[in-house]
Amino acid sequence: MSLTALRPHLKPLLLLAYPVVLSQLGHVLVNVCDSVVVGQTGKVPLAAVGVGVSVSTVVMIFGLGLSMGITPLVAAANGKRDVQQLGRLLVAGVWLSTLAGLVLAVAGTGVASLLKYLGQTTEVVALAAPWVRIMFLSFLPLMIFQGFKQFAEGLGLTRQAMYLSVLANIVNAGLCVVLVFGKFGIPGFGMIGSAWATLLARILMAVLMGAYVLRAARLRPYREAVQSWLRPNGATLKRLVGIGAPIGFQMMFEMGAFSFSHIMIGWLGVTPQAAHQIAINVASVTYMAASGIAAAATIRVGNLRGLGDAHGARQAGLAAYLLAFLFMATMGLLLVAARHYVPHLYNHDPAVVAQAATLLLIAAAFQVSDGLQVVGLGALRGLEDVKVPSLVALLSYWVVALPLGYGLGFGLKMGSIGVWLGLLTGLTLVAGVLLWRFRQHSIVPTPPAAVLAGH
């Protein structure tokens, strides 16, 4: 398909994507802030926050994926102008997200108690366990925020969540500095202060996003279509779970692979683990930016599909692929250029900085693969194709990437470099398979009249 055919979709995608990019970045910038601030207190706290982020993010990402099932269904219903269905999706989406948040918050106590079995150093576990418990509590307000956010984004209202994410990150950064180091008469709590800062910032996000959806004049028709806030429609709830759960599992398989790689590198010692945390933290920023393009692809493809424009849906998906390729290729070049400078933002230990710079080279190499695979997932969600991509992720990361990384890192004694090369292989495999699947599933059927004319 020519660039000329894709050009009409680039501007609508960009208008949808840039607010989502900033909103998605909000989730990961919380971890970046925690790592940068805590890293100033030493490499052991930096390694500990890395373990905490790795473990908590695997669980959090499942919740985020579950809520992402709301967006393609809302986009499709909006394309059909089905106000009654949108009212049902609003209630069911908020219910599903809130219940998921409750489950995740309670799970924190059990997860924290399991850290000692992961083979990490004693001092790292001692710092990470209480941090994880508080971070899991923050998942409840985060998921409430997600329920309202994904509904609004499905309608193409992406700027509101962007503004709130920016605000919440400013609040989190300020509180993080105050509570970690102690300012304005408030005593410093060290690493645990960053977790309390995140909890407070996410409560603010949930309150403000809920207030917007429940009070905005432009959303009144959907609120008026709500029959009962206390009883979500069973069929709608089931459909949300049917779309969202595979997305959640797919995201968990991917994030779980990266998190387990952090655990594996922890077997090598605190210094490699601290270096890994820096590199993966930086890579996660560009990944979340690409996931914003993926979210825009879900909205555009889902909306055009709801309108019955299969050809437009295919073009929108391919245009998203083009945007992701250009963006991530640029980010890869920037990582190569800045690899010796970025680690100093986190920690000044010479050994940590040197190892992080090497890992950032590999991170630069997998930028394009990472961007293309996440956009492929977003475009396929717009087609409500979620189950097979989840299986692809499971096999690519857990059957190929991690065993290969372990073999290279520990069998061939390549250390953390070998683990990262395994991750690079898994990402590239997923990207290729999903691109092929989108091209196959978005093929526009030839009209019968055109077939006869061809004969």
State the DSSP string of 422-442.
HHHHHHHHHHHHHHHHHHHHT
Indicate the average pLDDT of the chain. 83
pLDDT confidence bin for 453, thresholds 50/70/90: very low
pLDDT of residue 162: 79
* Whether residue 136 has pLDDT greater than 70: yes
In the block, tokens 């709830």 appear at: 237
pLDDT of residue 121: 72
pLDDT of residue 451: 42
In the block, tokens 């410093």 appear at: 188
Alpha helices in 155-269 (DSSP H): 159-181, 191-215, 220-224, 234-266
Q: How far apart are CA 265 and CA 195, in angstroms?
A: 24
Residue with more model confidence, 366 or 25: 366
Mean pLDDT of 399-408: 91
Q: How far apart are CA 369 and CA 428, in angstroms?
A: 5
The lowest-confidence range among 151-155, 284-288, 438-442 is 284-288
Q: How far apart are CA 165 and CA 22, in angstroms?
A: 7
Alpha helices in 70-121 (DSSP H): 70-79, 83-114
Distance from the Cα of residue 219 to its chain's centroid? 26
Kindly report the pTM of this predicted structure: 0.71
Mean pLDDT of 139-164: 88
| Integer angstrom CA distances of residue 116 from 110, 119, 128, 256, 399 | 12, 7, 10, 18, 25
**What are the boundaries of each domain within the chain?**
3-445
pLDDT confidence bin for 185, thresholds 50/70/90: confident
Neighbours of 141 (CB within 10 A): 23
Percent of the chain with pLDDT over 70: 91
- By CB atoms closer than 10 A (0-12, 13-18, 19+), residue 410 is middle
Torsions phi, psi for 414 (to 5 deg):
-85, -5
Question: Measured on CA atoms in the order 267, 271, 273, 279, is the torsion positive or negative?
Answer: negative
Structure tokens at 36: 């940068």
Residue with more model confidence, 339 or 447: 339
Q: How far apart are CA 335 and CA 315, in angstroms?
A: 30
pLDDT of residue 329: 92
- pLDDT digit string, tens, across residues 204-249: 999 999 999 999 998 999 998 888 888 888 899 999 998 888 888 8
Mean pLDDT of 276-297: 82
Residue with more model confidence, 118 or 327: 327
- Upper half-sphere CA count for residue 72 (Cβ side, 13 Å): 29
